[in-house]
Structures are given as structure tokens and as C-alpha cells.
């Protein structure tokens, strides 16, 4: 049997909404990507991946949650200015690891909410406590060395810790401490970390952030490399309507519903290709 991988990239709250909308729409078209042999989640994708593989809540329920009104909590910011700052650091870095170390230094010196508050926020969003039976990989970057790792159920790390680390955007949220090490967002290494799906026969990538910069390789480029190695790969990134729905701050919960609806609509465009890849 062909081995399948689903890769879910980072992209803030709007990225979560868009990914959930995309997954719901594809399921309506007869493609259940939650049955993948491995799900690889980065940042926002780690939350969606954990929710999807846990099977605690149907996709329609997860989608309905994306449509709910914001709960009034303060809005964090991650907009064009922050992405421009990250891009500048990327252009000055030799490779993804050196970029990770630079971003780690930024994270370690930034004034943010306390680490415990960040974990509580992720716990509320995640709603899942234990690693799923199906294989889930959650990416994070060592804030000191810049090296990427992928936590899974065999790592001895609680799921909440792994996801909190994967979602620790430098300069916005604090690094997360796990076994004495500090970890930051897995998207620092790559917005989707598609390369971790090497060796799988069929790969679907849902990546809210399509762009690259400096040593950071775009999801489509990573997907093309897997294709060159013999895999069948489909990379889905936001269309114009989805990008418009995201707005200028991907951490704005008020934009989450529009992003989810945009993902569900866009799924119709990709359903035939994904169905052919996944089921034949």
C-alpha cells in the first residue's frame, strides 16, 4: 500500500481557519485526509493536525468553532511589519539553522506574555490533551542552536508542550521550555517543513504561507523536490480570495471565520486533484 502524508503549515489564527475550512471541503468531496499515515504540523498546522488526528471532534464541529465570534481576549499582532522584520533577518542568514539561531535570540530577549500564559492560550485553542494513536509530528526550533526537531508520541514530551513550542512565534510569544531547552516556532525553519514527508508515496500539503525568503525554502519548492524523488505531491496555498480574507494580522480572531469560509470555498478547486492523488 502507498504510504500517505498530510503536511499542515503555519499561518496564525487565520491559517487555522483556512486549513480547517479546506479539510472540511475536501471531506465533503470524498477525501478524508485525516487517514494519512503521518500528519506533519507546523505552528498553526500543529494545532489542526492534533485536532484532526485525535478524532475527538468531527471536522464540521471544528469548522463551526472557527465561525464562532471572538471571545474578547486581547488581540495579538503578526502583520506585514513583523513579516518584513523576519524577512530581513532571513536575508542576512546563511541557512535555515543560522536563521533559526538569530530568531531564537530575538525570542529570548523580547518582551512578551509569560510562558505559562502562552501555554494556557494554546491549551484553550487546542482542546486535545494526549498524543493521538495515528502518527503526528510537531515541529519546533531550538532557540539557542537554531536546529529543527520534530516531536512525536515517542519523544517523551507532552502534546501541549510540543504544540506550544511549535506556536511560539519569536517576538510575539515566549520560547517554550522543554527539558531545560528553549524552543520557538517550527515555522522559523520552514513555513510547512514539507521535507519531513520524504519517503512517503503520496503527499498533500496545505500551506497558509506560500512565500519564502533567504534560506527559507517555499512549500512548493520543497514539494517539487519530493516529486523529483518519486512521490506524488499536491501543494495547496491560499488563492487571492483567501489571502484577502486573512487581512493584515494573521492573529486576529475576527478574521478567522472569513478565512475558514475561504478555505471551504477554495477546496472545490483542488478536490479533483487531491481525490485522484489520494484514492487511486
> What cell does 179 get?
527539558
Q: Is 185 a catalytic residue?
A: yes
pLDDT tens sequence for the chain (280 residues): 789 999 999 999 999 999 999 999 999 999 999 999 999 999 999 999 999 999 998 999 999 999 999 887 778 887 777 778 888 888 888 999 999 999 999 999 999 999 999 999 999 999 999 999 999 999 999 999 999 999 999 999 999 999 999 999 999 999 999 999 999 999 999 999 999 999 999 999 999 999 877 888 999 999 999 999 999 999 999 999 999 999 999 999 999 999 999 999 999 999 999 999 998 7
Q: Is 43 a catalytic residue?
A: yes
The torsion defined by the Cα of 68, 63, 46 and 160, in degrees rounded to 10, comes to: 60
pLDDT at 90: 84
> What cell does 72 get?
474578547
Catalytic choice (142, 161, 185, 258): 185
d(CA 240, CA 83): 19
Q: Are 67 and 115 in contact (CB under 8 A)?
A: no
Q: What is the 3-state composition of the chain as percent helix, strand, coil, each rounded to the nearest 5?
A: 50, 15, 35
Using the structure block, give the residue that is written with the C-alpha cell 494580522.
249
d(CA 125, CA 48): 10
Segments making up each domain of the chain, as ranges:
4-74+111-279
Q: 3-state class of 217 per DSSP?
A: coil
Amino acid at each position: 500500500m502507498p504510504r500517505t502524508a498530510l503536511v499542515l503549515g503555519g499561518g496564525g489564527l487565520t491559517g487555522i481557519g483556512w486549513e480547517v475550512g479546506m479539510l472540511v471541503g475536501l471531506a465533503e468531496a470524498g477525501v478524508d485526509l485525516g487517514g494519512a499515515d503521518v500528519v506533519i504540523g507546523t505552528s498553526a498546522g500543529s494545532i489542526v493536525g492534533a485536532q484532526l488526528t485525535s478524532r475527538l471532534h468531527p471536522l464540521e464541529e471544528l469548522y463551526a468553532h472557527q465561525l464562532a465570534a471572538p471571545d474578547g481576549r486581547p488581540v495579538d499582532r503578526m502583520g506585514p511589519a513583523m513579516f518584513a522584520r523576519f524577512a530581513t533577518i532571513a536575508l542576512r542568514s546563511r541557512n535555515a539553522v543560522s536563521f533559526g539561531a538569530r530568531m531564537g535570540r530575538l525570542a529570548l530577549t523580547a518582551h512578551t506574555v509569560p510562558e505559562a500564559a502562552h501555554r494556557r492560550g494554546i491549551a484553550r485553542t487546542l482542546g486535545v490533551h494526549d498524543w493521538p494513536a495515528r502518527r503526528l509530528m510537531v515541529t519546533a526550533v531550538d532557540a539557542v542552536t537554531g536546529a529543527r526537531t520534530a516531536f512525536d508520541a515517542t519523544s517523551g514530551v507532552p502534546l501541549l508542550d510540543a504544540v506550544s513550542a511549535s506556536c511560539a512565534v519569536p517576538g510575539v510569544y515566549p520560547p517554550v521550555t522543554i527539558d531545560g531547552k528553549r524552543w520557538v516556532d517550527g515555522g522559523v525553519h520552514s513555513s510547512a517543513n514539507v521535507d519531513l514527508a520524504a519517503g512517503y508515496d503520496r503527499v498533500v500539503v496545505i500551506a497558509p504561507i506560500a512565500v519564502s525568503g533567504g534560506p527559507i525554502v517555499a512549500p512548493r519548492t520543497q514539494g517539487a523536490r519530493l516529486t523529483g524523488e518519486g512521490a506524488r505531491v499536491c501543494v495547496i496555498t491560499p488563492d487571492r480570495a483567501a489571502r484577502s480574507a486573512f487581512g493584515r494580522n494573521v492573529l486576529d480572531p475576527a478574521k478567522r471565520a472569513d478565512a475558514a469560509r475561504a478555505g471551504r470555498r477554495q477546496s472545490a478547486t483542488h478536490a479533483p486533484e487531491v481525490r485522484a492523488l489520494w484514492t487511486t
